[in-house]
Amino acid sequence: MPDVHKRTEPVGWSLRNKLLLLLLALFVLAGGGNALLLKYFIERDSMVLLLQTGQEEVEMLVQRIDRVFDRRQQVLESLAASLLEQNELAAAETLEQRITAPGLSQVFFGYVVMDAEGQILADSPVVPGRRGSSVWDRAYIQENIRTGQTVRYPPTMGRFSSIPISIFSVPIFVDNLATPKGFLVGYQPLDSEPLFEQIRSEYDRVSSDLLIMDLTAQRYVSASNPALTLQPIASKDPLFRQLQQGIPSGRFVDAAGQDWLYVATTQDSTGWTLVKLRQMQPITELLNSWVRHNLLVLGLALLLGGLFAGWLLHRLLGPVHRSLQQMREVLQLKKGYQHLQVDRQDEIGQLLQAFNELQEQRDRQEQLKDELVSVVSHELRTPLTSARGALALLRSKDLAQQPEQQARLMDMADRNVNRLIVLVNDLLDLASLTKGSLKLDLQCVALQPILYQTVEDFTPYAQEQGVRVSLKQPTGPLLVMVDPGRLNQVLTNLLSNAVKFSPKNTEVEVVVTRRQDTVRIMVTDQGEGIPLAFQSRVFERFAQADKSDRRRNTGTGLGLAITRELTTAMNGRIGFSSLPGSGSCFFLDLPRLDNKNGSDHPEENKDDH
């Protein structure tokens, strides 16, 4: 049956190749994402910039038209005041002379003067049939009468000229009279409006279109295309609909499918809407060209970055590759391990250093394993040999009538069996502590009885070694949360080491002090002290300061390791201080649970064994 979980990864791919592939994928993703983001932000920012620039241009155009129209209005109002003589309109000949004065044709194309009933008295240029006719019904005349002010009338078809024109109408007043004496009209054909023609030529040079629209009348006032002048605006025109919805700028697609960008603003004095248009196709082509150039530069940068990344990976991972090759030779060819050369301080250098430290630890573990085999073999063989010899003698008939000798041999066998039990228990405890499976029976107990009992039980052994043991502890209760049996084991280990390394006729002191939150138990001997080089390994398993001294001071090297683990499990702390030739002091700190009553100072010679 085929393996459905078979890896599809190419066989033999190294970390360097994987990283290169990953970097390549990241470069492609980064390049593609950057291209999309670049195109999006360029288009967005360009549109915003074009709209802002267009808005400023249209507003300036509105101000420009307002200035021209204001000047025309001022000229027309000044001309209207000059048409009065003795508070009445001047004669027709005089009116004609004044409206044909030099320079006026540059302001308006034509002028018309009417009396108070709207009858035309003079015009320039002269249009046959216009003089003597009445325009009283025209809306701008009625607006002049109603407001008494100058009227800028929306573009309309001239009644006599039959061409689209824009009209300014001024009432002619005599001071302190509410009724005008007549009216002066200035008009300008939209198809020959010099201002609009100048604007058209300017927009032709910048490839933009201009529309001047009367949205209320729904017709074009003027445009870059003169053919649109006074033409109606289709109701379905997309630009007209967006302007009616109050959208002053944006994009739309016309009936021919062309995309346009527009900006619009309203001229307050006339109510016209001025719209600047630009086709999007040239803008889009320019943006796309700019994006393509940037993508080309980006692609070259990514290519150079990829080549540099490949070279950098080769340089960075080269030591790792050589180290792996060296380890492979050690594992496959059974060559001896040599320390890896570390000539860098970065993470890879730290990794190589960790390999070296791991190998050192492995060598140390191998050494400890060899020592364990040696120690356990010695510690097992010695009591077994003694017990076996004692049992063999007990079976002999020579001792059948010697009860005292039999008892001595049985005691010897019993002691050696107990030594074996202690050794096995130490090994079991160490295994349980290592796995975290050792269960403690923590209880709130008084510390003094445990200390007294431990010292009392250990005194006979100390006396056999020619060593005295003294206990000094403060008055008052000392309550701690411990496992009594395990605490006894910890104290026994500390006392055993202290007595074992103490010369004869010296003293081992057990001093108890009450601290703020803890109780400190100090076991001090007067032995040779711990060598400085060995002090960092005191609590390591199977560690012994002097292997040559093992015959005098037998032990497995497990006692202090077990002692530290048990102390930590009971939420305590163990430490020591030692100087070579000055003895050692091991201290044990346990959390206090008592009410802190009693003396904090130990009583001298409280117990002396």
DSSP letter string, 524-545? E--S----GGGGGGTTSTT--S
pTM of the model: 0.47
User: Within its chain, how far is the Cα of 485 from the centroid?
Assistant: 54
- Residue-level pLDDT at 608: 55
User: Residue 547 has what DSSP assignment?
Assistant: G
Segments of the chain scoring below 70 in pLDDT: 1-16, 176, 205-207, 330-331, 333-338, 340, 368, 371-383, 386-387, 390, 392-402, 406, 409, 415-416, 419, 422-423, 426, 429-431, 433-435, 542-557, 595-609
Spatial neighbors of 411 by CB under 8 A, at least 6 apart, are: none
3-class secondary-structure state, position 64:
helix
Spatial neighbors of 324 by CB under 8 A, at least 6 apart, are: none
- Residue-level pLDDT at 371: 65
- Residue-level pLDDT at 203: 76
C-alpha–C-alpha distance, residues 107 and 194, integer Å: 10
| Cβ count within 10 A of residue 477 | 14
Find residue 514's DSSP bridge partners. 519
Strand extents, DSSP E, 215-315:
219-223, 249-253, 259-266, 273-279
Q: How far is CA 542 from CA 236, 365, 369, 529, 597, in A?
A: 97, 10, 9, 18, 42
C-alpha–C-alpha distance, residues 534 and 402, integer Å: 49
- Residue-level pLDDT at 601: 52
> Whose CA is closest to 59, among 279, 277, 274?
274
- Residue-level pLDDT at 551: 37
User: Residue 592 has what DSSP assignment?
Assistant: B
Spatial neighbors of 11 by CB under 8 A, at least 6 apart, are: none
End-to-end alpha carbon distance in the chain: 79
> Whose CA is closest to 296, among 566, 596, 562, 31?
31
Going by their DSSP bridges, the two strands 479-482 and 506-514 should be labelled as unpaired
C-alpha–C-alpha distance, residues 243 and 399, integer Å: 129
Is the CB of residue 212 less than 8 Å from the CB of residue 228? no
> Whose CA is closest to 245, among 278, 277, 273?
273
pLDDT tens-place string over residues 543-566: 666 555 443 445 666 778 888 888
- Mean pLDDT (the chain) is 81
CA dihedral (368, 374, 375, 376) in degrees, to 10, reads 110
On the 0-12 / 13-18 / 19+ scale of CB atoms within 10 A, 558 is: buried
Spatial neighbors of 46 by CB under 8 A, at least 6 apart, are: 283, 287
Spatial neighbors of 220 by CB under 8 A, at least 6 apart, are: 211, 212, 213, 214, 228, 229, 230, 231, 233
- Residue-level pLDDT at 480: 92
- Residue-level pLDDT at 415: 66
- Residue-level pLDDT at 552: 45
pLDDT tens-place string over residues 285-338: 887 887 788 778 877 887 887 788 778 777 777 777 777 777 777 667 666 666
- Residue-level pLDDT at 4: 45
| Cβ count within 10 A of residue 349 | 14
- Residue-level pLDDT at 118: 92
- Residue-level pLDDT at 67: 92
Q: What domains can you pick out in the chain, each with its CATH number?
A: 367-432 (1.10.287), 440-608 (3.30.565.10)
C-alpha–C-alpha distance, residues 483 and 441, integer Å: 5
User: Residue 607 has what DSSP assignment?
Assistant: E
Q: How far is CA 265 from CA 246, 251, 272, in A?
A: 10, 15, 9
> Whose CA is closest to 110, among 35, 41, 163?
163
- Residue-level pLDDT at 311: 82
C-alpha–C-alpha distance, residues 195 and 69, integer Å: 10
DSSP 427-486: HHHHHHHHHT------EEEEHHHHHHHHHHHHHHHHHHTTEEEEEE--SS--EEEE-HHH
